[in-house]
């Protein structure tokens, strides 16, 4: 059965239509369906880093996986961008739709705990090097009391990284996997991962290669790349945790967002 | 045999000889040619090697 | 009688010791006394404005009152600084003390509503000029359901500006008066306004002129100036609303903070 | 009589004559010499006057 709860993740790319997402959330709220909204904000991070003169780097793992280099200066920008800009913008948009929304990060009431990645490997000039000061982490737990209390009031938690690491300082975590972990922890009925691309792509450079039904297997799918790999991983984690309905949907259009949020059985 | 540009240090795992180029940087991962252990260059002058930390999965944002 | 609730405002000046404030809050929490923490962050605003190259201006009212010019660029910096930097720093410090704290702004669930000051007067080169695009406002209401829900869970709301204006956009509001209004709305037993100065001063340039007991009268006291004027106003508002115990205390020292938060009857 | 550097416009409150210096700026508050109404310069070229908005209390942060 499940709780009737929907967890929605809207991406950090500029393309995802915040207005469509908020309209969809508002509709669920009007129907008295509980919702948690999880968000990233990579476009805001990039913009703010530029204005603050903080260079953004990447880590290229030996297997080719590219991730954001989160040195302490970047973590500060990430926190400013998510908590101080992307989240207030979403709260304003939700307020316009009459949704009582509450902005949260993993630092609130122990919500998101993570293990800091204390030794990352990156390839520089063909050499593999260990990076020890990165402030990115892997989610280890979701504390549910605050989320339950807000949902009981009919409010919509609006949640983003950072999370709290064992050393008492923040770490960035992947927002898709936050959404999956929250859906699992709250026994959600549905997880919707909105992207700036049309559904699950086999080739992210070719939107025509959309696969209508993606079978979540037990290994990484080499035909799925880029940010979509993370979404597939997050989707698998949620499915394995018992979330019955996991959707990866195009967040760029009002109707695809509405479809993805609609018709919960 | 190591060339003139190579420093040799004992592998902390098998005590075998590990040759490292002089332009090696701190943090770099090298492999022991004898036991195939992954070693981290924790110091360059003098050269110091330690067992490399486990690779930490990373998925980006 | 009252609710046993303490509302603490810690100032935005760099001098107020966040660690002492959080230690005091933690003690109240351990004693199962409910607490709301309200904060500003003017030092953080100034620092971030400098890094972003946003010039900070002032408005000088015809009566000589000086206030921050909050043009839209400044409001963005204020929101970034409060929600994205000062608040996460307080949440981390409270987490170190084991306090389950939840960061909020007036944009969460309609918490703080304000009327935007649509026509401010400022004196420029001896001429009085009307400023119409300022995004500062005067608090008009505090919504209590979210605060009650969090307090019922034993959590500490950590609240700051901005507030939501009638036009659906944020406005900056004075954090001391937010604290007073929250204390009034929640029927608090005590309001503690912490400052970067020793108690209520008659002359802010002369800390020796401390008056141990300040009688709140019915007019503005010409002997009290600067940021202290606002604190006196806020204190009066809280007293008039029935908050029995209002203190303006030195936030720079662990013991004065502890004293101010201690011994609720 | 107004000087050469002064423009005259009718007071929107009493229709009295209000003289305004040519270097007046938009948004500036002037007082009507006849009825003492506070007037805002809502346009400078041509000069336009309107009743000034109520002074809004402000306390700063
Ligand atoms: Zn070896
Ligand atoms: Zn007149």
**Is C16 among the domain residues?**
yes
**Is A29 among the domain residues?**
yes
Select the highest-mean-pLDDT range: A16-20, C16-20, C191-195, C222-226: C191-195
Alpha-carbon distance of A19 to A94, in angstroms, equals 8
> Which phi-psi region, left, alpha or beta, contains residue C32 (left: φ > 0; alpha: ψ -120 to 50)?
left
Residue among C194, C190, C202 nearest C229 (CA)? C202
Alpha-carbon distance of C97 to C227, in angstroms, equals 30
- Which residue out of D49, D53, D56, D57 would a mutagenesis test of the C interface target, given it has the greatest number of C Cβ atoms within 10 Å? D56
Average pLDDT over residues C53-70: 91
Q: Is A224 helix (H, G, I), strand (E, B) or coil?
A: coil
Binary contact (C175, D61; C-beta < 8 A)? yes
Structural domains in chain C (count): 1
How many A from CA of B23 to the centre of ligand 1? 21
- Look up the CATH number of the domain holding residue C93: 3.40.1160.10
Query: Quick count: other Cβ atoms within 10 Å of Cβ A55?
Result: 10
Output b/e per residue, A63-98; b: 16+ Cβ within 10 A: eebebbbbbeebbbbbbbbbbbbbbbbbbbbbbebe
* Ligand closest to the CA atom of residue D39: 2
Residue D23: exposure state from Cβ atoms within 10 A (0-12, 13-18, ≥19): exposed
* Ligand closest to the CA atom of residue B18: 1
**What pLDDT score does A207 carry?**
47
**Is C157 among the domain residues?**
yes
Average pLDDT over residues C193-211: 59
**Residue-by-residue DSSP string for A21-78:** HHHHHHHHHHTT--EEEEE--HHHHHHHHHHHT---EEEE-TTS-EEEE--HHHHHHH
* Ligand closest to the CA atom of residue D14: 2
Q: Which domains does chain D have, with CATH numbers?
A: 6-51 (2.20.28.160)
Average pLDDT, chain C: 87
Q: In what order do the strands lie in the sheet with D29-31?
A: D29-31, D38-44, D47-51
Q: Which residues of C touch A (CB under 8 A)?
A: 48, 51-53, 76, 79-85, 87-88, 91-92, 95-96, 100-105, 107-110, 145-146, 149-150, 152-153, 155, 162, 164, 168-170
Give the CB-side neighbour count of residue A203, counting CA atoms within 13 A: 4
For residues A111 and C224, which has the higher predicted lDDT (pLDDT)?
A: A111
How many A from CA of A121 to the centre of ligand 1? 20
Binary contact (A105, C84; C-beta < 8 A)? no
Contact list in A for residue C146 (CB cut-off 8 A) is 100, 102, 150, 153, 155
How many A from CA of D38 to the centre of ligand 2? 8
How far is the CA of B54 from the CAs of A118, A119, A130, B60, in angstroms?
Answer: 10, 8, 10, 18
Q: Inform me whether the pLDDT recorded for C120 exceeds 70.
A: yes
Alpha-carbon distance of C92 to C87, in angstroms, equals 9
**Is A239 among the domain residues?**
yes
**In which element (H, E) is residue C156 found?**
strand C156-160
Confidence of residue C220 (pLDDT cuts 50, 70, 90): very low
User: In terms of CA atoms, which chain C residue is nearest residue D61?
Assistant: C174
How many A from CA of C116 to the centre of ligand 2? 29
Alpha-carbon distance of C99 to B40, in angstroms, equals 40
CB C179 within 8 A of CB C140: no
Binary contact (D60, C66; C-beta < 8 A)? yes
Contact list in D for residue C40 (CB cut-off 8 A) is 61
The answer for residues whose C-beta is within 8 angstroms of residue C166's C-beta and 6 or more apart is C113, C115, C116
Binary contact (D58, C61; C-beta < 8 A)? yes
Alpha-carbon distance of A161 to A140, in angstroms, equals 13
Q: Point out which residues pair with B49 in neighbouring strands.
A: B41
Q: Inform me whether the pLDDT recorded for C99 exceeds 60.
A: yes
Contact list in B for residue A117 (CB cut-off 8 A) is 56, 58
For chain D, give the number of residues. 61
User: Which subunits count as partners of chain C given 3+ CB pairs below 8 Å?
Assistant: A, D
CB C99 within 8 A of CB C71: no
Binary contact (C108, A103; C-beta < 8 A)? yes
Contact list in A for residue C155 (CB cut-off 8 A) is 109, 146, 149
How many A from CA of A179 to the centre of ligand 2? 64
Binary contact (C130, D40; C-beta < 8 A)? yes
Q: Point out which residues pair with A115 in neighbouring strands.
A: A138
**Is A1 among the domain residues?**
no
Contact list in A for residue B58 (CB cut-off 8 A) is 59, 61, 65, 67, 117, 120, 136
CB A235 within 8 A of CB A174: no
* Ligand closest to the CA atom of residue D10: 2
User: In terms of CA atoms, which chain C residue is nearest residue D23?
Assistant: C127
User: In terms of CA atoms, which chain C residue is nearest residue A152?
Assistant: C149
Binary contact (C174, D60; C-beta < 8 A)? yes
Q: Inform me whether the pLDDT recorded for B4 exceeds 80.
A: no
Alpha-carbon distance of D29 to C3, in angstroms, equals 48
Alpha helix positions (H), A124-171: 145-152
Contact list in C for residue A100 (CB cut-off 8 A) is 109-110, 146
Task: Establish if C177 touches chain D: CB-CB under 8 angstroms.
Answer: yes
**Residue-by-residue DSSP string for C103-133:** EEETTGGG-EEEEE---EEEEETTEEEEE--
Average pLDDT over residues C129-138: 94
Low pLDDT (below 50) residues in chain A:
1, 201-204, 207, 209-223, 265
Q: Please tell me whether the peptide bond between B46 and the residue prior to it is cis, using omega within 30 degrees of 0.
A: yes
CB C81 within 8 A of CB C74: no
Complex ipTM: 0.85
* Ligand closest to the CA atom of residue D33: 2
**What pLDDT score does C153 carry?**
97
H helices then E strands: how many in chain A?
8, 14
**Is C1 among the domain residues?**
no
Binary contact (D59, C61; C-beta < 8 A)? no
Contact list in A for residue C85 (CB cut-off 8 A) is 76, 79-80, 84
**What pLDDT score does A232 carry?**
86
How many A from CA of B30 to the centre of ligand 1? 11
**What pLDDT score does C223 carry?**
47
**Is C15 among the domain residues?**
yes
**What pLDDT score does C205 carry?**
52
Cα–chain-centroid distance for residue C168? 22
**What pLDDT score does A265 carry?**
44
Binary contact (A67, B55; C-beta < 8 A)? no
Average pLDDT over residues B44-60: 77
Q: Inform me whether the pLDDT recorded for C1 exceeds 50.
A: no
**Is A144 among the domain residues?**
yes
Rg over CA atoms, chain D:
13
**What pLDDT score does C255 carry?**
84
Confidence of residue C169 (pLDDT cuts 50, 70, 90): very high
**What pLDDT score does A82 carry?**
97
Range of the domain at A184: 6-261
């Amino acid at each position: 059965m499940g709780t009737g709860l929907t967890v929605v993740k809207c991406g950090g790319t500029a393309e995802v239509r915040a207005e469509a997402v908020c309209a969809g959330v508002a509709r669920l709220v009007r129907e008295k369906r509980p919702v948690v909204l999880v968000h990233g904000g990579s476009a805001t991070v990039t913009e703010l880093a530029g204005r603050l003169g903080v260079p953004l780097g990447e880590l290229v793992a030996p297997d080719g996986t590219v991730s954001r280099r989160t040195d302490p200066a970047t973590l500060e920008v990430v926190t400013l961008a998510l908590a101080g800009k992307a989240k207030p913008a979403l709260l304003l948009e939700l307020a316009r739709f009459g949704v009582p929304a509450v902005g949260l990060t993993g630092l609130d009431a122990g919500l998101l705990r993570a293990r800091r990645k204390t030794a990352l490997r990156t390839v520089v000039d063909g050499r593999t090097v260990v990076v020890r000061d990165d402030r990115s982490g892997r989610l280890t737990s979701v504390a549910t009391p605050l989320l339950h209390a807000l949902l009981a009031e009919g409010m919509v938690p609006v949640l983003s990284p950072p999370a709290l690491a064992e050393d008492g300082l923040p770490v960035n975590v992947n927002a898709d996997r936050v959404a999956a972990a929250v859906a699992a922890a709250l026994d959600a009925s549905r997880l919707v991962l909105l992207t700036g691309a049309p559904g699950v792509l086999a080739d992210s450079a070719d939107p025509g290669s959309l696969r209508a039904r993606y079978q979540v297997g037990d290994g990484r799918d080499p035909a799925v790349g880029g940010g979509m790999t993370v979404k597939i991983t997050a989707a698998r984690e949620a499915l394995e945790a018992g979330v019955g309905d996991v959707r990866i949907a195009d967040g760029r259009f009002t109707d695809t967002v509405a479809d993805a949020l609609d018709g919960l059985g | 045999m190591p060339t003139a540009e190579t420093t040799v240090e004992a592998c902390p795992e098998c005590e075998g000889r590990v040759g490292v180029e002089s332009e090696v940087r701190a943090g770099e991962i090298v492999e022991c040619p004898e036991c195939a252990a992954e070693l981290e260059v924790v110091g360059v002058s003098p050269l110091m090697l330690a067992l490399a930390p486990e690779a930490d999965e990373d998925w980006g944002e």
